[in-house]
Every structure is written in structure tokens, then in C-alpha cells.
Chain A
């Protein structure tokens, strides 16, 4: 029989205001196994932890229940306190009477009743707890960064500067990401390429950084400290070692009608191409869908003109297998498709464009060489309307429920830049709210209004109607003046919502990293562990975790890097002892557990068993404790109940259920 001590925390008034903690102490005393119970203001404080240590000694406790906040908050704290007092840390259970109880109840009687029940369940579990001992696993001192945008580049640079090897896998032919497509950046208006390209060069030149561009992560196995990753290096059909980057192949390529991804489809590129002039590596790739040689077997002009002899039509995709200790997801974002927003006539008129397309139009290297012009007829616009929140903050399922965060600022930037360069152009911005928290952000927005005379109208646009004269009739409302507005515009720019890159689901699945309903990767803790995934060894950098601007992305990238460095600096990791194991006499050998195991931790062996005198060879599940992460999927899938999880055994869980239902 265990000797259990129960410690009930007030959490100031967080718990004590809605739970009668004295009563919980009183009631729980009579539970089987409980030899001591007390309450205290803040159990997590040093004094609180000291009380646990004293009680362990005084009452010869073998198990501890702390009724407090979520175990995600302080389970480790109390486990460590128990360990210092001489107990096995896994003899501690937390009854979450804050998040699961006091915070969601208003009535003190209800709250108290539930707190007692939760405490009772935890006591029932501790009665069946056994000491558990973690093992050790090694750490591969190398990190993988998935995504080569500013987030991935910054993370890689920071990890590499700390002295660790890091690889960047980027699926497009060049690193740089969306930032490389931007013209100027808020709130300082410096040129995006000017600040980004040096970082790209740094990354490429860094002796600790290896770039896998035009490559994709294909398979991930293993666990924190010891991941094995298959990377598919897609065939470039250009030998990177021979190519001098002279660009002659692209110049001579006769197939020049493919919409340029870099220019958001506003211009064309050749079949053999580098996405943009400062691309890194400066080695082109052949788009086999557009290449005449690949489609018809004829042509081969690029090979003929290449003095370096770098063109190789026989190149094949290559799979590289590498080991990593940590993986950073920096897969970034894209703008949403506008198919659900027909009212803005995006698909009907070339003069309705997204803000990202406007970046390309305003960029000197863009399709119009930086001249602001209508894409339909090349004429200079006189009247431009910006529409905010297209697909953002959307209450139905047409768009996204969240705020894309960057649009208010980039629209102020666009409006300001246009008014600065073309003072004769009228700029009107339709907005729901203007959101400018951030250093020098509100000042920036006010400059657009006060100094540059941008016309901000609070209200939404209902419809954009292309007119026979080529103009766009914008129907909107002005909520402040309470009137309808009809405006003829030459160009309409949509602040299109951003969403996580579409590949993130595939990558999250490979990494068993969780994602939310909007496909943003979930943090281990929204406030206290914002750059870590709940999956150990997986870190988050940039917009894959949530909308952010460049300074925030760079800060988060650095934060992710330091977390990676903290992990790689360790020689060994303690493994979670809460792993699964199969009862040999109950196991049917049916493979169900292996089918559901996300970590590939289960294999089968033919084992000699003695089942109450029957000796026979049986196919039995064997769990690799180093791979098992204790998720418990196998234990629920196992039809015979042979699979069990240390620390969360079927008996323990049923004892908790029994205690709750009593």
C-alpha cells in the first residue's frame, strides 16, 4: 500500500476563489492510501516545494498528489521536488484543479466537488504507480531546417554561428523565400533584397551550413536527438559543380512562355531558369514540363551553348539520407486563393491584383521594371483602391478566421510609396480596423495619412465591377459617414490573407508535429514555449507557427536557433520512461500496434513462451524503448489489451475512471 501525501494549491485566488481547498484537504484524507493532506498558497514556490520535502520525510510518503495547475505547467517542478526529497519522480501525479476546474466553474460548490473528484482520481492512480527510470539516448550534433526563407536562413545562421552543422532544405531552386519577392520593407522602407541577399550569401558561404535547394524532405524517422531524414534532391539537369551561372542558357532557351513563379505569374520565364537574378545557388534548373528537349526530344540548345558543359539531361532525382538531432520547421506562407471572393473581380480583371503582386509590379526587377502601371493596358493609374482583410478575420468558411497581421502595415507602405513617387495618384484604403502595434508602426501609418494624404475609409467593399471603359467600379461603404461609396478606380489591390504553405500538413505529418485548424503548427506552450513543437526535437520558425512580419520572424528564428543549440549542446538525452510494452502472454501478434505506431517503434519477434504450461513459439510485439515516445496509440488499438504504457497503464487509467465514477 502506498503512503500518499496530497498537496492542494490555492494558486493565490486562481484556485481558492472557486474551490474550497480546505474542504478538498478534509475529504481527501479519508481516501485509501492517503496519510497526509495539506493546502498552501503557492505549492510551486520554494516554500511550497519545501513543504513537500518535509512531508515526505515526516510521513514516510511513497507517493504524492499535487492538486494544482495543468501538469504541462508544473509537473516537472513537482517531480524534481519529489526527487530531491528522495522519491522516484514518477510517483508524483498532478490533479489539474485549475484549468480543468476552478477556471471553468463559477459556483464554489460545483468547483469543490469536481476538485475532490479529480484529486480522488489522482490518488487512485498513484496507488498503482511504480517507480520509473529514464534511459539515455545520444544526440546527433546536426540540425535540419526545412524552408529557406528568411526564417530558415536566420535560424540556420544562428545555429551555425554557435558552431553546429546545419542543413537547409528548400523546395524551390533558390533560398530567399517570399522576402526575396518583396520590394521595400516596413517601417523603415529599406529595400528587401538589399537586406536579404547578404544573409543569403552568408548562409551559402558558411562552412557549417549546407544548402539543399530544389529539394524536399521525403521521410522522417527517429526521435529527438536522433532523427533520420530522407531528402529528395530533385534533378536540376544542370551540374552545379560545372555551372558558372553565366545565364546564357536562359537567354538562348526558346521556351519562354512559362509564368514566372517568382513574379507571381505576372511575367514569363524560360524553361531553364533561375528564379531571380540574385538566386542562391546561381545554378538554373530545367522545368521539364516546359522544356522542348524533354517534351519532344528535339532542341538541346542550352547544352550546345553551355561552355562549361554543365547541362545534363540524364540527371535523376537523388535521395540523400542524413541524421539530425533537431529539426526546425520554417515552411512559411503563401497568399490564399481568391476563388471564394468573386465579388472583387480578381479573376475577371487584370487590374485587380494582390498586394504581393503589387510588390512585384513596384520592384525594379519585376514585370514592369518598377513602373506603376495597369497590367491590362500599361497605362498609369490615377485612382487606386486598396481593400483590406480580403479573406482575413472572416467569420464564415470562405476565408480565414485570423488576422493576417502584416496587411495593415504593408498597405500603409504601398500607399505611401505610391503617393511619394506618383503624387498625382489618389489612394483610397478601405479597412475594418487599422492595426499597428509594433515599434514605429503607428507613426508609420500616421505618416501615410497625415503626410502623404492617403484616404483611409472605414468600411468594407461589397463589389468591384469591371466597366466597359476599362475602369473598375468599386462599391463600398463608409461607416463613419454612414454612406455608400461608388468609386471609379484604375487599379484595385487586395490585401489577401496569408495561410501556411500548403506542404505544411505533409511535413507536420512526417514529423508528427501537431497543427491547428488553420494549419499553423502548434507550439508546446502558447506563451512559455512558443518556438517548440509539442513533439520533442521539433522547433518552429516564422509564419508556419502564426502570422508575423519580418522583424518578428527574425526574432523567432533566433529563438528557435537557441533552443536547437541548447539541445545539440547536450551529449546525451534522458529518454521518457513512459513507454509501451507488450504482455507476451496476451499479445496476438496481429500487427495492429505496429500499424498505428507513428514512430516505427514496434517490431515482431517469434518468441518461445510458456503460457500456463503451454510452451509454444508465438509472434509477439517488441517495443524499441528508444523510439517509443509514449503516445499510447498502440495501447488503445490493441484488441487484446496486451499493449500497455508505463506510467499510464490500463489499470491506472481504469482506476482513475472508477474513482471519478464512484
Chain B
């Protein structure tokens, strides 16, 4: 982390960048938050550790409109989002100085809490430089510990890999964290009967409080004006009806990001209700892969997504229909 701060200061001071987009220390040991730093001094509050799960690429939409370059710290998975935003002309490559930061898997405090650990005072072992296999946790009730892997976000168990897809320079080490089959959860749901599926999603989606956190954090949900908020479509009122969350909102959102979602997992990470929102998107990704060949949104800037491209050997509609 120190190397990152030193380099950021250097780039700020020599005028290469006008600001730094990273994470600053939060009010709890496990909630650093995205932040812009405009001076070298302010970087004292900069932090990069296992809890810096936030994907900063979406902030670059606004940062691209500012004077001068912005230094942005992107983890390997975040670079897919940045590339996708580049493909969609939402960010300006020339306005970004990308430092690809190493990643050893990001942590989910809810998972730590689920193991029965309460009253967390401090956590060691989550540092970016020396991430350990075990987290040592000081709590109001004494010292506790938790395996790093057990505290990891779901998305890190199915990590797309250590490689940064776009960067100006790299700082820090990454490690392989993938230890689960990416589409296993989707396959489980696919195996359910229609009634079971319906019941499953009703149960999950009924938890939704429409806080819009998923939409606001999603790099693919970057429309200037969301269709749910616009009065242009006579849909705003419908979107305000209580049952809308359960029946429509998340499904429409999944359709809107289909083919563009990089599976960054931010939706599930930020959901205060713990809804596994990534499942919708991952089902689309699986279907697209199976019907049109493997495609990863954001793996390459400027690539044409199968849903907005036509090839002679594309799956015929009849095949798509048969799958249901």
C-alpha cells in the first residue's frame, strides 16, 4: 500500500494526474469507501486492503468530464468494467491513468459476522501487502480468528483471474482465489422446476427494499437517466408499485445489462438485504456463452457483444426458443 501511496503522490506532484481515485479509511475497520484525493497530504487517509471491494471504474464516468487526468486504482476484475465502459464510450481513456492494483481476494464482513464474530474492533491479516491465510480479529469479546477464504466475497471464489486487462502500470501482487465452479449456482437453479424457481426468486426478491444500491453501483447501469426514473415512458409510476421489485425490477435490470455485465459482483456485494442478484446476470452470461460461444464482456475494449452483433453461425432463433 505504501508503494501505491508514494507513486500516487509522485504523479500528483509532477502533474501527470490532477487527482487520485482510490479508497479512504472508513469509520469502521472494515468499511473503507471510494474517494477522490486532490492533494498529496490528503493521501494520508488513503487505504487499500482486503475490504476495498468497491469497483471504482464507474466513478470514471464523472471523472472523465473533469479537467486533467485521474489516477484510478483498478483491481483485475475492475478492469473488465473499465473496458466495457470504454466500449460504450462512457469513459475517456485519455482522462485515466490506470494503476492496476494487486488483489488477494476481497472480504465480506457479513461472512465474518455469520461465523458468530461480533463487536469487531480491529482486523489484521487483510492488508494488501501481506494478506494472510487467517484473519486475526480483535473484538469486544476477545481475540477471534477466521480463515481468509471463509471471509471472501462470493465473486472472489469464482475470480476471472489475476490479469489486469487494461492499465498504465501495475503495483502489488495478486493471488489465485478461484476455488468454485462459476456456474454451479446457476445450474442448481436451472435444475429446479418452474414452481421451485418462482418460489426461490419470490423469496429472494421479496427482501428487496428498492434502495437502488445495486443499480447505483453497477458499472453497466450507467444510463444518464434510468428508465425507472424517467417520466418519458409512463413506467415511473409502475416502477413505484410495491410488487414491482419482486416481479419486474431486477429482471428488467438483468435484461438491460445482459451481454454488458462483466460479472463484477458489485450488485450482490452492496445489497443490504443479501439478495444474490448476480445470479440473474450470470444466467445470461451462461446462456450467451452456450449459444454464441464464450464471451466475456470487458475482456477487450471495443469488442462487439454477441447480443448486438450478427454472425452467420449464430444460434438460430429456434434453438434459442427450444431452450425456453
Interface string of A565-604 (1 = CB under 8 A from B): 0000000000000000001011111111001100000001
B223 contacts A by Cβ under 8 Å: yes
| Interface flag for A73 (CB, 8 Å) | no
- List CB contacts (< 8 Å) of A600-650 with chain B: 604, 611, 616, 619, 637, 639-641, 650
Q: In the complex where A585-B224, A640-B223 touch, is A592 in contact with B89 (Cβ < 8 A)?
A: no
Residues in chain A near residue B45, CB distance under 8 A: none
A588 touches B308 (CB 8 A): no
- Asked if A654 is at the interface of the complex by the 8 Å CB criterion, the answer is yes
In this assembly, does B141 line the interface, its C-beta being within 8 Å of a C-beta of chain A? no
Asked if A505 lies at the interface with its beta carbon under 8 angstroms from chain B, I say yes
How many residues of chain B are within 8 Å of chain A by beta carbon? Answer: 27
- B229 vs chain A, min Cβ distance (A): 11
**Is the Cβ of A590 less than 8 Å from the Cβ of B90?**
yes
User: Once the chains are docked, how many angstroms separate the CA of A505 from the CA of B313?
Assistant: 11
- A509 close to B89 (CB less than 8 A): no
* Beta-carbon contact of A654 and B234 below 8 Å: yes
Q: Is B124 an interface residue (CB 8 A)?
A: no
B196-217 at interface with A (beta carbon < 8 Å): none
A506 touches B312 (CB 8 A): yes
B90 engages A586 (CB within 8 Å): no
Tell which of A505, A588, A651 touches B234, judged by Cβ atoms closer than 8 Å: A651
Report the bound CA distance from A596 to B308 in whole Å.
5
CB of A588 within 8 A of CB of B88, answer: yes
Contacts A509-B312, A595-B308, A654-B233 known; A641 to B227 CB distance under 8 Å?
Answer: yes
Does B113 count as interface, using CB distance less than 8 angstroms?
no
Interface check B225, CB cutoff 8 A: yes
Distance in angstroms between the alpha carbons of A619 and B90 in the assembled complex = 9
**Interface set, chain B 58-82, CB cutoff 8 A to A:** 65
A650 CA to B231 CA, complexed, in Å? 12
CB-based contact B89/A585 at 8 Å:
no
A586→B235 contact, CB < 8 A: no
Residue of A nearest to B258 (CB): A639
- Which has the most chain B C-beta neighbours within 10 Å: A637, A639, A650? A639
Chain B nearest CB from A401 CB (Å) reads 14
- Prevailing SS type, chain B contact patch: loop
| Contact of B223 with A639 in the complex, beta carbons under 8 Å | yes
Q: Does B304 contact A (CB under 8 A)?
A: yes
The answer to whether A509 touches B234, judged by C-beta atoms less than 8 angstroms apart, is no
**Shortest Cβ distance from A617 into B: residue:** B65
Q: Are A586 and B89 in contact (CB under 8 A)?
A: no
| Minimum CB–CB distance for B281 against chain A, Å | 14
* C-alpha spacing A171/B305, complex, angstroms: 33
A588 with B223, Cβ < 8 A, contacts A639-B256, A641-B232 known:
yes
CB–CB A585/B225 < 8 A: yes
Q: Is A655 interfacial (CB-CB < 8 Å)?
A: yes
Asked if B145 is at the interface (CB within 8 A of a chain A CB), the reply is: no
- B234 lies within 8 A of A655 (CB): yes
Q: Which residues of A in the span 457-501 have a Cβ within 8 Å of any Cβ on B?
A: none
Interface centre among A587, A611, A637, A641 (most CB of B within 10 A): A641
Is B309 located at the chain interface by the 8 A CB criterion? yes
Question: How many whole Å from B140's CB to the nearest CB in chain A?
Answer: 47
CA distance A619 to B61 in the complex (A): 13
Q: In whole angstroms, what is the CA distance A639 to B224 when docked? A: 10
Q: Which of B65, B222, B308 makes the CB contact (< 8 A) with A592?
A: B308
- Interface pair B223/A586, CB less than 8 Å apart: yes
Residue in A506, A592, A640 whose beta carbon sits within 8 Å of that of B224 in the complex:
A640
Contact between chains at B88 and A590 (CB < 8 Å): yes
One of B89, B233, B257, B307 near A589 (C-beta < 8 A): B89
Chain B residue nearest in CB terms to A640: B223
B312 and A650: CB pair below 8 A? Answer: no
**Chain A min CB distance to B269 (Å):** 22
Q: How far is the CB of A420 from chain B (nearest CB, A)?
A: 47
A596 to B309, CA, bound (A): 6
Distance in angstroms between the alpha carbons of A596 and B318 in the assembled complex:
20
> What are 20 A-B residue pairs whose CB atoms fall within 8 Å in the complex?
A517-B318, A585-B225, A586-B223, A588-B88, A588-B90, A588-B222, A588-B223, A589-B89, A590-B88, A591-B89, A595-B305, A619-B89, A639-B256, A640-B223, A641-B227, A641-B232, A650-B233, A651-B233, A654-B233, A658-B234
17 additional contacts (CB under 8 A) given A509-B312, A591-B88: A506-B312, A509-B310, A586-B224, A586-B225, A588-B222, A588-B224, A589-B89, A590-B89, A595-B304, A595-B308, A604-B89, A639-B257, A641-B227, A651-B234, A654-B233, A654-B234, A655-B234
Report which B residues bind A (CB closer than 8 A): 65, 87-90, 222-227, 230, 232-235, 256-257, 260, 304-305, 307-310, 312, 318
